[in-house]
Structures are given as C-alpha cells and as structure tokens.
C-alpha cells in the first residue's frame, strides 16, 4: 500500500530512524528522523528568536493564518484520515471525523485570539489607573498522544499560535506521520517554520527533559498518562513553567432506573467503543441501577456482539486494533483478573482472530468496585458492568477514584439530574449524552486527571499571562 499524504511528508521520510508501524497489519510503513535533545533545543532557540515577531502581529493576521491552516486540513481530509488510520488504527470514518475535529480547534482559536481583552480596573488612588494587559506567555512546548494524532495537536497549537506563542511539539512515537503532515500544512498556510516545529524521536524522555529544563520554554502542555504527567510536572518545577496536563481517567457511565434505556445503550456504545476504547474520556466502568440492570445488559450485549472488528481502513469496520503489545497486554490482564475475581463474560472476553493487536469487544457482568478493571484505565473495548441500588451509592462508587476527567449519566428526573451533575467530582459531566468533546467546550479534569482546560474560550488563557500595569501621577 502506498503511504497516504506522501506528498506532504516525503521530505521527512528516512531510510532508518524512528520506525512507524501499522497496528492493524504489523507492517512498517515508514521511518522518520529520530531526533534528540540537540534538535529540540535548536527548535526552542529558533522559536524564541521568532517569538517577538509572531506575537507582534495583530490577532487578525494570526487568525487568517490559522484559518488557512484549517482550510488546508479540510481540503486534505481524505489523505490525513487515511494516514491517521494507517498509523493509529482507528476506523476511517472516525479518522475523518478527527480531521474535522482538528480543524475546528484552529477555526475556533483563530476567532478567540481576537478576544484576548484586557481590563481597566477601578483604581485604589484618585491619580492612578490600573490596567490589566493580556500577553502571550512565550515559547510553548507540547507533548501529544497517539490516540488522536491530529486533534490533540491542533487543540494545543491553535490557542498557542492564536495567543502569539510559538510551539515546539513532540508527537507520540507511534504516530509521528500525522504530526509531520500537519506541520507541512501549517507552513503552507503561512505559519513561519520556527513558530510551529515538530520534533520526532524514539527517545521521548530525553526530548521531554529538554522541554522541561529549558528556561526559554515558558509553557508545557501534555496529554497522556497520569504517571508521565506527574514526572513532567516535577521536572518543570526547576523553571516554574506554566503547565497544562490532560491525563488519565476512569470515567463512570451511570444508568439510573428512570433513564431512557435505548438512549443509554446508544450512548454507552459511543462512549465505550469509540477508537476501540482508547480515549481518555471513554466510559471505563458502567454502573447500572438494579431496576434496569437486566434490560440494559441484554440490549448492550446485543449491540456489542454486532460490532465489526478489523483493519480500520476496510469498509464497515467499527473496531480497529489496539495501538501496541503493551496496550493489548494490559487489556487482557485486566479481563483475566476480573474473571479470576468472579466476573462473567457476556460477550467477547479475549483476543480477536483479526490479528495480534485485536481484542474482542467485550461486556463483563458481576464486576465489583474493587476489581482492577474498575479501578484502572482500561484503554480497550471492554465494558465492565457494576450493579448499584441507590443514587448515593452510585455517587460514592463513581467518585471513589483518584481520577476526575469525564463522567456520564442517564436519568430523566430533573432533581436527580442536578444532584448527580453537582455531586460528581469530575471536570466534565454529560447527562443523557455519550460523547462530550467539542471545540467550544472546556475540556479537562480535576484531581489526578490534570490541570487546565483545552478548547473553549478558557483554552486561550492557558497561553496568556496577565500583566498588571499601574499608571500613576495622573493628577
Ligand atoms: C483524549 O482521549 O485525550 C481526547 C478525547 C477527546 O477529545 O474526545
């Protein structure tokens, strides 16, 4: 198979270096530069040199470049989607959706950048005025994951560039090609080379350390595991950098007795099985109230057993491979542990014959809150179902985790909806919807799921410093 978007990334391809594999076939599809901290530091120095000029342009000029970048994404949607599917495995229709999702962040922040209004604050002195100026933080660095190899980049680069901050970005080792294609389109759109630079590497630790240790980098944005997020936060302490961390989750998906069960099943399918369960906001545990438990399990099992598993590039496939051996190994371990601890398989339960990295879409019942499958992030197509009796018990189970990214629930009673919305200790809560991400909404978690918000009007603030200006002697 020829490499999708080859015209965009041909200059980045190498004979050896960082090898890129198609997780559906196991085949090596490309190799790109395996750069180290020297290249990262050079990119940071270039970004620093370009900062004043980029920040000095009007917000309107930056917006027109970002809009041009978004248009190029749309006009290359087919190739970008095929490339993302080839390196991360997600089904092609999901990859196409991701291209539009990625473009939406550039369009959104092109406009938000124009609204970085400051303030004039009533003064404490009659002969003085207090101004609040909004200024870009400076050079930013980003580390992005493989599960959304396009959108997690534009969700960071959009607000950074709109605010006036150059960005140096390290994509996941598994998915550098989508990042390189985005970089090529950014430069075609008019983003200066030094203002958005992608550094590909097989040594993420060394490049991550270069980002954290650099005094020139004033902001680091990371999406990935809580374990790595904690390490980066510790490493950034020495330079007191601004941090945005979008980390792991353990999303509860709660179905109450008064829920519309058809809608809840449809929501669970979207929330749990999107990207084969490999998103930070995927439903991790499904909590179902006793009165609707049997009906919900029966309908969910029927839908899950109808899912088509295979190479994401093939027509009709709904569940692609997991990203790598570590990913599928963890999913298999969690299922084995649950079965040994008393859970039962309703659908699936093991590896799928489609290939080494494929896992059967699975539904487990008889799961208890103590099992690892209910406590750890699964990142695979496995739905563990836990039965509960009361609203308070559901809230207690849902909040009993160090994570606090996304939560979902289905109910119709308004008093219950407010009680649960307010009672869930999560950064994002969806009532009667299974997917909550949008460029206009603040995405982010509480507790060990992270710091800061991406997307929405709040996402721009992550790249902005407030400067207090006191103008005295005005009498
Ligand atoms: C993620 O998994 O980190 C992002 C998911 C999303 O934006 O919906």
pLDDT at position 275 is 98
Q: Which of 90, 147, 250 has the most ligand 1 atoms within 8 A of CB, as the residue to mutate? A: 147
Q: How large is the average pLDDT for residues 99-114? A: 98
Task: State pLDDT tens for residues 311-327.
Answer: 999 999 999 999 999 99
Does the pLDDT value for residue 43 go beyond 70? yes
pLDDT at position 427 is 98
The model scores a pTM over 0.95: yes
User: Are 278 and 149 spatial neighbours (Cβ–Cβ below 8 Å)?
Assistant: no
pLDDT at position 475 is 85
According to DSSP, the residues that pair with 21 across neighbouring strands are: 28
User: Are 406 and 436 spatial neighbours (Cβ–Cβ below 8 Å)?
Assistant: yes
pLDDT at position 2 is 87
Task: State pLDDT tens for residues 257-305.
Answer: 999 999 999 999 999 999 999 999 999 999 999 999 999 999 999 999 9
Task: State pLDDT tens for residues 151-189.
Answer: 999 999 999 999 999 999 999 999 999 999 999 999 999
User: Are 159 and 152 spatial neighbours (Cβ–Cβ below 8 Å)?
Assistant: no
d(CA 214, CA 241): 10
Residues 6+ apart with CB under 8 A from 196: 157, 161, 166, 167, 169, 183, 186, 187
d(CA 381, CA 432): 21
pLDDT at position 453 is 98
- The percentage of the chain sitting over the pLDDT mark of 70, rounded to a whole number, equals 100
DSSP 380: S
DSSP 11: G
Q: How large is the average pLDDT for residues 430-441? A: 98
DSSP 422-469: HH---SEEEES-S----TTS-B--SGGGEES-BSHHHHGGGGEEEEEE
Q: How far is the CA of 262 from the centre of ligand 1 (A)?
A: 25
Ligand 1 atom 8, closest CA: 437
pLDDT at position 16 is 95
Q: Is 147 in the pocket of ligand 1 (CB under 6 A)?
A: yes
Q: Is 299 in the pocket of ligand 1 (CB under 6 A)?
A: no
Does the pLDDT value for residue 105 go beyond 90? yes
Q: How far is the CA of 475 from the centre of ligand 1 (A)?
A: 54
Q: How large is the average pLDDT for residues 389-395? A: 98
321 closest CA partner among 3, 26, 2, 40: 26
For the purposes of burial, counting CB atoms within 10 Å of the CB of 56, is it exposed (0-12), middle (13-18) or buried (19 or more)?
exposed
Give the ligand 1 atom nearest the CA of 435. 8
Instruction: Report the 10 Å Cβ neighbour count for 126.
Output: 7
d(CA 40, CA 400): 40
Question: Binning pLDDT at 50, 70 and 90, where does residue 95 land?
Answer: very high
Q: Which of 94, 148, 229, 436 has the most ligand 1 atoms within 8 A of CB, as the residue to mutate? A: 148
pLDDT at position 1 is 64
Ligand 1 atom 3, closest CA: 280
Please give the helix or strand (H or E) that residue 196 lies within, else none: strand 196-198
Q: How large is the average pLDDT for residues 314-341? A: 98
User: Are 359 and 351 spatial neighbours (Cβ–Cβ below 8 Å)?
Assistant: yes
Q: Which residues of 174-190 are buried (b: 16+ CB within 10 A; e: fewer)?
A: bbbbbbbbbbbbbeebe
Q: Is 385 in the pocket of ligand 1 (CB under 6 A)?
A: no
Give the ligand 1 atom nearest the CA of 274. 8
pLDDT at position 216 is 98
Q: Which residues are catalytic?
A: 246, 280
Q: Is 148 in the pocket of ligand 1 (CB under 6 A)?
A: yes
Average pLDDT, the chain: 98
User: Are 232 and 210 spatial neighbours (Cβ–Cβ below 8 Å)?
Assistant: no
Q: Give me 386's structure tokens.
A: 């836990």
Sign of CA pseudo-dihedral 352, 358, 364, 370: positive
C-alpha distances in angstroms, 186 versus 9, 61, 64, 196? 12, 14, 12, 8
């Amino acid at each position: 198979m020829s490499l999708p978007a080859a015209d965009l990334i041909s200059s980045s391809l190498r004979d050896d270096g960082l090898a890129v594999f198609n997780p559906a076939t196991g085949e090596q599809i490309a190799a790109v530069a395996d750069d180290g901290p020297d290249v990262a530091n050079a990119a940071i120095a270039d970004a620093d040199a370009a900062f004043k000029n980029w920040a000095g342009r009007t917000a309107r000029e930056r917006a027109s470049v970002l809009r041009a970048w978004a248009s190029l994404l749309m006009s290359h949607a087919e190739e970008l989607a095929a490339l993302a599917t080839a390196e991360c495995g997600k089904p092609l229709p999901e990859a196409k959706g991701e291209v539009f999702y990625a473009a939406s962040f550039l369009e959104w922040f092109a406009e938000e950048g124009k609204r970085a209004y400051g303030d004039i604050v009533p003064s404490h002195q009659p002969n003085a005025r207090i101004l609040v100026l909004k200024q870009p933080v400076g050079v930013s660095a980003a580390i992005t994951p493989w599960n959304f190899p396009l959108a997690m980049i534009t969700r960071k680069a959009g607000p950074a560039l709109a605010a006036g901050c150059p960005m140096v970005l390290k994509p996941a080792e598994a998915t550098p090609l989508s990042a390189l294609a985005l970089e090529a389109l950014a430069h075609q759109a008019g983003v200066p080379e030094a203002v958005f630079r992608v550094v590909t590497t097989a040594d993420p630790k060394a490049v991550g350390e270069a980002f954290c240790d650099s005094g020139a980098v004033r902001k680091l944005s990371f999406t990935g595991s809580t374990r790595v997020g904690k390490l980066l936060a510790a490493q950034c302490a020495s330079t007191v950098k601004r941090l945005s961390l979008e980390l792991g989750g353990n999303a509860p998906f709660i179905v109450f007795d008064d829920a519309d069960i058809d809608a809840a099943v449809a929501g669970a399918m979207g929330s749990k099985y999107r990207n084969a369960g490999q998103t930070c906001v995927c439903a991790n545990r499904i909590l179902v109230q006793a009165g609707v438990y049997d009906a919900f399990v029966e309908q969910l099992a029927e839908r899950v057993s109808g899912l088509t598993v295979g190479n994401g590039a093939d027509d009709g496939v709904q569940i692609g491979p997991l990203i790598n051996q570590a990913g599928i190994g963890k999913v298999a371990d969690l299922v084995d542990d649950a079965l040994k601890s008393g859970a039962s398989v309703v659908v699936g339960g093991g590896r799928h014959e489609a290939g080494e990295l494929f896992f059967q879409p699975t539904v487990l019942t008889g799961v208890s809150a103590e099992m690892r499958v209910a406590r750890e992030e699964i990142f695979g197509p496995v739905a563990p179902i836990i039965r509960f009796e009361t609203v308070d018990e559901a809230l207690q189970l849902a909040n009993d985790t160090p994570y606090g990214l996304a939560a979902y629930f289905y109910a119709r009673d308004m008093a219950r909806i407010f009680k649960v919305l307010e009672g869930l200790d999560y950064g994002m809560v969806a009532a009667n919807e299974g997917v909550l991400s949008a460029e206009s909404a603040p995405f982010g978690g509480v507790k060990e799921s992270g710091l800061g918000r991406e997307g929405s009007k709040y996402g721009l603030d992550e790249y902005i410093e407030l400067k207090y200006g006191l103008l005295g002697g005005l009498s």
